[in-house]
Structure 1
Amino acid sequence: MKFFWRSPSKAKRLALSLPKWPLLRLRSAQVPNPLYLLLTLLLLAGCERPDPETAVFVTPGQSSTLPPTPIVTPFSGEGPLPPTPEADPAQAIARPTYNGTPTPDPTHETAVAQENGTLTHTVGVGETLGYIAQLYGTTTEQLLSLNQLDNGNLVYVGQALLVPSSATQFGPDFKLIPDSELVYGPAANGFDVRQFAELYGGYLLNYEEAVENQLLAGPEIVSLVTHRYSVNPRLLLAALEYRAGWITKAVGVVEQFPMGYRASNQPGLYMQLSWVANQLNWGFYGRSEGGLNLFTVADGTRLGYAPTINNGTAGVQKWLSAHDGATYASWLQEVGPDGFWLTYNALFGNPFAYTVDPLWPADLSQPSLQLPWQNETWYFTGGPHGGWAAGSAWAALDFAPPGEQLGCVQSENWVTAMADGIVTRSDFGAVVVDLDLPNQPADGFAGTGWAITYMHLENRDRISVGTPVQIGDRLGHPSCEGGFSNGTHLHVARSYNGRWVAADGAIPFNMAGWISQGLGSEYDGLLLRGTVSREACVCRDEINAISP
């Protein structure tokens, strides 16, 4: 069997999503039993790639979002953030000074309108004709016709395709945040969500919610979303303030859907903020890696990203376009200097004061990694797919331990460290290891340099935060813990400076010589070592068996 992690918000859509899943592969000698096929489908779970324009239904408009008067007053850019009377001045968080202008971004690929009512789309990593058709609201047949292709043709990364479009305009070129303010990277090192929330004494501090059977307070929910999605906590707090006023107001927008996301009836701060993080990632990684250069405002307006904005700005623009009250006119206000940016600036100062550039050096390469188990044969069950939920890069691979049982069963097998480092997180099914490298000593913060996320590790025997590890050290047992999964497995992903590293991109996984390669659709892929090839499969078989 092939076992996946699935975002909880997607679990109920399994029946509608089956066409996007990799096909069940059976050896030629096998005859598929209908009951077996049904059981297979019922046991599948994972972080599927979403429909490109998933409908969402949210509360229109926004709350009054400006912080209390002391913060609205023009700030000199020096010294600590002025606290409200409820806060302890000694806990004030300094805001860096910024008097410059955002560094010009190189011109990006954009949607190029043709006289015949089409656009040019550049094929991104992992995209298929079917996905591109959904992205632009058309059909595979129409794409084949427009581009004079036949069913035997395969699209390739970098290929220019004509797509139908009614878009006649582009979004503004006002930059909202640097790329380093979208990811949970070096600029967020040392930032404490609870400490900042206590400066204002707002509603977030009084909020509680059970997340995966653990009762969490508001600031800890924000931190969990930050870690899982690798999204900057300042950005999430500014988003929560902008939509709901929960940071500065004792009573903001207090309802089941504080961020206005009503699709699939997912209430509560955790699910609402997770939706925001996923939208931010979707815009960021979709534009930077997936060739996404066109999007739709809720009123149906099709827009191309301005070619000069950076990917972090694209992420925020995508999120701000998604609520059902958005019109082109209201969206223009929200993405301008008097919209979301004003709230961010009032809370934290100019976002570009936190810029870390570049996030990735030009010569970035993966350090040496081993397989995440010792002296056993495991099974490659999931090719490149989201690092966490659908919007992130295809950063993850899935593996099932040896055995005959299906579903969520307790495993005595061990997940082991792929490289030396320090454990920076061990909760909610995740173990995150900050790698200790010659040119990057582990500093205990996973947002600087290389880090590995091991997901779905059982609480039993799971390694503790702060523990130094060496290659081969035991981290925990594979399980179904963390997110939603109905099959015991390991989900493993890499990040550098807080940005997910795609498993099918320019820096593939290399684990003891096993090199990852995508096959054009999420979860489908190969691991190659020399002349040996193993393909991700919903099975335990020779075709997906991986040994040290």
Structure 2
Amino acid sequence: MYNSASMKQFITLLATLALTLSACATENSLWGVQSTPTARIPTVTLPASSTASPRPTDTLIPTATMTLTATHPAPTQTLVQVSTPNPQDQPILYYAQSGDSLDSIARRFSVDVDEITSPKDVPQEGLIEAGTLLIVPDRIEAKKTPNDKTVPDSEVIFAASASNFDVAAYITEAGGFLSTYKQWVTTSGTTSGTDVLKKLSRDNSANPRLLLALLEYESGWVFGQPTDMFREKYPMGFQIQDDDQGLFKQLQWTINQLFAGYYGWRSGTLTELTFPDGETIRLNPELNAGTVAIQYFFSRQRNRSEWERVIDPNSPSSFVAYYNEMFADPWVRAATVEPFFAPGMTQPELALPFEPNVQWNYTSGPHGAWDREGPLAAIDFAPPSDHKGCDVSSLWVTAAASGLIARADAGVVVIDLDSDGNEQTGWTLLYLHIAEEGRIPVGTWVKVNDRIGHASCEGGISTGRHVHFARKYNGEWILPDSALPFVLGGWTIHFGAKPYQGTMTRGARTVTADPYGQAWSVIIREPNE
């Protein structure tokens, strides 16, 4: 609903801006021209029998993995009319993108929330409807990255547009080094390259098309052979120590870099890139999360001049051009699944994932959803015990909401709340470290509070029995302290100063995460919760 007072302010502002049109006509961002890529199916596609076009030789610089840490104020759902920007600041007319909140936009533009205005009422906390016009002071004086939106959000995460992509068939038909590659993986023994990529895509919720394209662009593994011994061991060019070799670790590192960019941008905690030589550049605040993911990934091992060529959509040797050749126009696929978030949506009601009247401990605050370096979307609960260890707990883990069991294997249980059996659509809940003994089977429909299994150490690295719990929506991990607060049985999850730290609050009560199960971490679900 439009606010009349705000609309008068908006019209007055546009009239003022018109007086300076001759001086600003070349600045598209001033007038809010949306940078929506034109749908284009490339006239040249890579047949599976061909080899990919030659890639320019880059000097890759090994870098250490960045750990993403985020803190946010706890949101409340209220509507406000925010103030008019200072007339001394030349404004930018920005159109909200799916997943935006006032807090994340303010962080990206380096302004205060109350400096952002709109001809519409917008939520002070919560998601803003995609396409909503926002007027933001232009305060960023530093050199910025290009404003070209090159990769949709749905091409970075494992969205519904990738659900029917046949990874195995594509790799087999391509016939490159990847199609015959095998390696030893601790959890699965000797594993094909195809299965490595499929597993990492599914577990991390990363788009398999993008991983294949990056692997081919960096090493030639998909359609050809690695160019040298280094690329055979380290196909993504990441090497800090010898055991970084092999496809599994190389792809996991790749996913972590993409997600540091994607989720850092989504939350507003990432606003600039730092190149290996120490040079920095400010991220253009109008970019989308998918584009930032790619810009961040390539900034990790390339200095600025090489980075600019790789991300330039007009360069025939850029990754963007290469990606279009391999998989056609990604924006056409994105149009079938985006925007991800509906206006005004909220998290469905969720219960604590264990039975009432039983003591559990909140052992880990927000940390990596799958990998340790991943987006900080997961929390841990541990059952009480008189001894340490990984033996299976006798206490039951329960369904936090009603839905269909979409996956139940290797320590994992996934509840699909829309019950279509597709983890890439709607809300899903991930439970990790659920013992095989007593675990609920795939295809079972559960009601909230139904028993689904027992906490253990199965399904990943663990020093003691516990359950790891996280949320996804349309394939995207949902962070706590975001526009979609993480609430379990009335308890709201909050970030701490570091990963694995944090609190749960309900009214005046606070439970603090503690890996040793100290008294302040105890939580008991009440019968009526």
- Structure 1 length-normalised TM: 0.67
Q: Distance in 1 between matches of 2:111 and 2:204?
A: 27
1:221 matches 2:191: no
Q: Which amino acid aligns with 1:340?
A: F
The 3 A distance-change label for structure 1 pair 250 and 105 is farther
**How big is the shift at 1:252?**
6.1
Selected match of 1:291 from 255, 269, 286: 269
Task: Give the 5 Å matches for 1:100-499.
Answer: 169-214=143-188, 215-249=190-224, 255-265=232-242, 266-323=244-301, 326-337=302-313, 338=316, 339-355=318-334, 356-375=337-356, 376-389=358-371, 391-436=373-418, 442-499=419-476
Cα contact 2:107–2:268 (8 A) shared by 1: no
Q: Which of 44, 51, 74 does residue 44 from structure 2 map onto?
A: 74
Change (3 A) 1:474 1:546: same
Structure with more contact order per residue of length (Cα contacts < 8 Å, sep ≥ 6): 1
Q: Deviations over 1:113-171 (max 9, x none)?
A: xxxxxxx6989xxxxxxxxxxxxxxxxxxxxxxxxxxxxxxxxxxxx9x9xx9x95222
Give 1:146's aligned residue. Answer: none
Residues 48 and 175 in structure 2, CA contact (< 8 A), matched pair in contact too: no
Distance 1:476 1:210, change over 3 A: farther
Change beyond 3 A, Cα 1:256–1:401: same
Alpha-carbon distance in 1 for matches of 2:149, 2:382: 43
Corresponding residue SS for 2:233: coil
1:243 Cα deviation from its structure 2 partner:
0.9
Residues 24-43 of structure 1 mapped to structure 2, 5 A cutoff: none
Partner of 1:117: none
Aligned length: 403
Q: CA deviation at 1:458?
A: 2.7
Structure 1 residues 313, 85: closer, same or farther in 2, change over 3 A? Answer: closer
Distance 2:364 2:480 in 1: 11
SS in 2 for 1:263: coil
Residues 83 and 522 of structure 1, relative CA distance in 2, 3 Å threshold: closer
Change (3 A) 1:488 1:122: farther
Structure 1 residue 466, shift from structure 2 partner: 3.1
Distance 2:50 2:276 in 1: 40
Q: Relative to structure 1, is the Cα distance of residues 372 and 274 closer, same or farther in structure 2, using a 3 angstrom cutoff? A: same
| Matched AA of 1:435 | L
**Could you tell me which residue of structure 1 aligns to residue 80 of structure 2?**
none
Q: Is the 8 A contact 2:428 2:473 kept in 1?
A: yes
CA contact (8 A) 1:297 1:321 kept: yes
Counterpart-to-counterpart distance in 2, 1:234 and 1:258? 16
TM superposition shift of 1:469: 2.6
Where 2:376 maps in the other structure, the secondary structure is coil
- Mapped to 2, the partners of 1:342 and 1:104 lie a distance apart of 26
| CA-to-aligned-CA distance 1:470-516 (integer Å, 9 cap, x gap) | 32333332222333221221110001111111122232222222222
**CA contact 2:399–2:447 (8 Å) conserved in 1:** yes
2:490 maps to a residue whose letter is G
Relative to structure 1, the CA distance from residue 465 to residue 250 in structure 2 (aligned partners, 3 Å threshold; closer, same or farther) is farther
SS at 2:380 equivalent: strand
Distance 2:320 2:409 in 1: 33
| Cα shift at 1:345 | 0.7
Cα separation, 2, equivalents of 1:252 and 1:368: 52
In the aligned structure 2, how far is the partner of 1:205 from the partner of 1:461? Answer: 37
Per-residue deviation at 1:429? Answer: 2.6
Structure 2 CA distance for partners of 1:85 and 1:234, relative to 1, 3 Å: closer
Q: In 2 relative to 1, CA 531–299 (structure 1 residues): closer, same or farther, beyond 3 Å? A: closer
- Code of the residue aligned with 1:224 in structure 2: it is K
Consecutive unaligned residues in structure 2, runs of 5 or more: 1-40, 52-93, 114-136
- CA shift, 1:73, in A, is 6.2
CA 1:251–1:392 in 2, change beyond 3 Å: closer, same or farther? closer
- Following superposition, the deviation at residue 209 of structure 1 comes to 1.9
Listed as ranges, the matches of 1:87-102 within 5 Å are: none
User: Among the aligned pairs, what percent are the same residue?
Assistant: 37
CA RMSD of aligned residues (A): 3.0
Q: Relative to 1, partners in 2 of residues 1:83 and 1:72: Cα closer, same or farther, differing over 3 Å?
A: farther
Aligned counterparts of 2:311 and 2:191: Cα–Cα separation in 1: 32
8 Å CA contact 2:377, 2:477 repeated in 1: yes
- Quick one: distance in 1 between partners of 2:511 and 2:96? 40
Gaps of 5+ in 1: 1-70, 76-80, 87-102, 113-119, 124-159, 437-441
Q: Secondary structure at the match of 1:462?
A: coil
Q: Distance in 2 between matches of 1:427 and 1:350?
A: 35
Q: Which amino acid aligns with 2:328?
A: G
Residue 322 of structure 1, CA deviation: 1.0
